[in-house]
């Protein structure tokens, strides 16, 4: 879940590609909130190990627009 900001998708796509590869972009789903202030973005990846997931979550959490990483 993130604040709907211009350029957000590009930033998140770059983070996902760094950690999971470009194939993860084929599975992206976006769901805007009712007033379009927020957006839920879902990526489905094939995880290699716990370290990969931890690094991905850490980088996503550093993105100022990101409010929640699940």
According to the model, what pLDDT value does residue 17 have? 97
Cross-strand pairs, 40: 31
According to the model, what pLDDT value does residue 48 have? 93
For 11-45, give the DSSP string: HHHHHHHHHH-GGGGGG-EEEE-TTSSEEEEE---
Six-digit token pair at 45? Answer: 């990846």
What pTM was computed for the model?
0.91
Distance (Å, rounded) from C-alpha 58 to C-alpha 52?
A: 10
According to the model, what pLDDT value does residue 23 have? 95
Six-digit token pair at 14? Answer: 């770059």
Would you kindly state where each structural domain of the chain is located, as residue ranges? 2-62
pLDDT single digits (tens) 6-22: 999 999 999 999 999 99
According to the model, what pLDDT value does residue 62 have? 96
pLDDT single digits (tens) 22-70: 999 998 999 999 999 999 999 999 999 999 999 999 999 999 999 999 9
């Amino acid at each position: 879940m993130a604040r709907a900001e211009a350029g957000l998708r590009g930033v998140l796509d770059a983070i996902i590609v760094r950690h999971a590869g470009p194939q993860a972009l084929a599975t992206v789903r976006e769901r805007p909130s009712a007033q379009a202030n927020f957006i839920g973005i879902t990526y489905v990846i094939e995880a290699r190990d716990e370290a990969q997931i931890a690094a991905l979550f850490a980088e996503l959490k550093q993105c100022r627009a990101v409010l929640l990483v699940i």
